[in-house]
Amino acid sequence: MQFKFNLLILDKVAAPKIYMGLKEHNQELRERLFQLAIFLIILVGLCFSQTKFLAQFLQSAIDGIKFFQPSPDEYFFLSFKLSLSTAIFLESPFLIIYGICYLFPALLNREKFAFASLLFLSFILILAGSFYAYNVVAPAALTFFFAYTKDILEPLWSFQEYVDFLWILLLGSIYTFQIPVIQILLGFIGLCTSKNCFNGLRYVLLASTVLAAIITPSTDPITQLVFTIAILVLFITGSGLLFALEKIKVIC
């Protein structure tokens, strides 16, 4: 795969010599995966010890709601599930970094620079997506449901279903916020240009509506509208970044 990436100064830099064979390289990967497994166990233990804080943090997304558990053991198993999910979320950046480190020796210097830049941008967008999900999407969706039923039904929600709802919103926002990264990556490998992105904006408007309906855990129009706006803004942002990279001749 040929990257259409134009940084000549990086091509002149001699790549470091690699003395490890494929067998040793795979052994190093297995050792790193073992370290990640140990780290995951430690993180699960730490998160499990802070289950009360995690539960209160999730509950603070909306006020005025009382939660219940339909069975005596539900909260215990939910605590473990919540701890495991949080630990995987916290460890995922290290997993991505280890995976890229495994591939780095096979890349050219300019390709290493491209992947490192995209990785940094991806982490920034993950944080932005998490913030957007917790402070914008979740309050909008939960407030809609609360306001819709508060005059008729007592707002007693299952905490299990509430946590699942929030996790789906969080993952949906994180994946959605990776749109600019995907656009730039496609631009690097020559499958996408800023002109094509801007010309297809009207199709993206339709696709964003369909995608928002798929990734949202509910069918309320408020949540879907918030996701649709986010997708459009992110697509336009990615198109603008791609256009800037083309203008400064980074992508040729």
Q: In angstroms, what CA-CA distances link 252 with 54, 57, 193, 242, 245?
A: 47, 46, 10, 11, 9
Report the pLDDT value the prediction gives residue 6, as an integer from 0 to 100: 55
| pLDDT of residue 29 exceeding 60 | yes
Give tens-digit pLDDT for 89-145. 888 878 877 777 777 776 677 677 777 788 888 889 888 988 988 888 888 888 877
Using one digit for the tens of pLDDT, what is the confidence trace for 175-202?
888 889 888 888 877 788 888 888 888 8
Q: What pLDDT, on the 0 to 100 scale, is given for residue 9?
A: 45
Please state whether the predicted TM-score (pTM) of the whole model is above 0.85: no
pLDDT at 46: 92
- pLDDT higher for 250 or 12? 250
**Average confidence (pLDDT) over 79-84:** 87
Query: Who has greater pLDDT, 104 or 247?
Result: 247
Q: What is the mean pLDDT of the chain?
A: 79
- pLDDT of amino acid 21: 62
> Is the confidence at residue 11, as pLDDT, over 90?
no
Structural domain boundaries in the chain: 18-247
Q: What is the pLDDT of residue 41?
A: 92
**Per-residue pLDDT averaged across 207-220, rounded?**
77
